[in-house]
Structure 1
Amino acid sequence: MEQHELDKLFDQQAAGYDAQWARMAPIRESLHFLLETVFADLPEDARLLCVGAGTGAEIAHLAKRFPRWRFLALDPAPAMVAACRERAEREGFADRCEFHAGLLETLPDTGAFDGATCFLVSQFILDPAERTAFFAAIGRRLRKGGMLAWADLAWDTNAPDYPDMLRLWMRTMSGAGLDDEAIERMRGNYARDVAILPPERVAALVADAGFEAPLRFHQAGMIHGWCATKRVRSPTR
Structure 2
Amino acid sequence: MTAPPNPFNDVQSVANYVDGPARNVPGWADMIRMTDLLLTERAPDDANVLVVGAGGGLELKHLAQAHSGWRFVGVDPSHEMLKLAHTMLGPLTDRVMLQQGYVDGAPEGPFDAATCLLVLHFVPLNERRRLLVEVKRRLRPGAPFVVVHLSFPQSPAERAAWLGRYAAFIASSGVDLTKARAGAAAVGERLSIVSPQDDERMLMEAGFTGVQLFYAGLAFRGWVGHA
User: How many angstroms apart in 2 are the aligned matches of 1:166 and 1:83?
Assistant: 29
Q: Which residue of 2 is the match for residue 15 of structure 1?
A: 15
Change (3 A) 1:98 1:177: closer
Change (3 A) 1:217 1:20: closer
Q: Which residue of 2 is the match for residue 113 of structure 1?
A: 111
* 1:173, distance to aligned residue in structure 2 (A): 1.6
User: How many angstroms apart in 2 are the aligned matches of 1:157 and 1:25?
Assistant: 19
User: Is 2:36 aligned against 1:36?
Assistant: yes
Q: Could you tell me which amino acid in structure 2 is paired with residue 16 of structure 1? A: N
User: How many angstroms apart in 1 are the aligned matches of 2:136 and 2:170?
Assistant: 32
Correspondence list, 1:84-99, <5 A: 84-89=85-90, 92-99=91-98
Report which stretch shifted further, 170-179 or 77-86: 170-179
Q: Does the CA-based 8 Å contact 1:171-1:177 persist in structure 2?
A: no
Q: Which residue of 1 is the match for residue 205 of structure 2?
A: 208
Give the 3-state SS of the residue equivalent to 2:113 in structure 1.
strand
- Aligned to 1:122, which of 99, 120, 123? 120
What TM-score comes out, normalization by structure 2 length? 0.88
- Aligned to 2:146, which of 144, 149, 166? 149
Q: Which residue of 2 is the match for residue 54 of structure 1?
A: 55
Change (3 A) 1:187 1:34: closer
The percent of aligned pairs where both chains have the same amino acid is 26
User: How many angstroms apart in 1 are the aligned matches of 2:214 and 2:22?
Assistant: 23
Q: Which residue of 2 is the match for residue 102 of structure 1?
A: 101
Q: Which residue of 2 is the match for residue 221 of structure 1?
A: 218
Q: Which residue of 1 is the match for residue 75 of structure 2?
A: 74
Q: Which has the larger radius of gyration?
A: 1
* 1:35, distance to aligned residue in structure 2 (A): 1.5
Q: Does the CA-based 8 Å contact 2:167-2:184 persist in structure 1?
A: no
User: How well do the aligned residues superpose, as a CA RMSD in angstroms?
Assistant: 2.2
Count residues with an aligned counterpart. Answer: 221
Q: Does the CA-based 8 Å contact 2:163-2:185 persist in structure 1?
A: no
Any gaps of 5 or more consecutive residues in structure 1? Answer: 231-237
Deviations 1:10-33 (A, max 9, x none): 021222211344424762211111
What TM-score comes out, normalization by structure 1 length? 0.84
Q: Which residue of 1 is the match for residue 128 of structure 2?
A: 131
Change (3 A) 1:176 1:188: closer
User: How many angstroms apart in 1 are the aligned matches of 2:65 and 2:222?
Assistant: 21
Any gaps of 5 or more consecutive residues in structure 2? Answer: none
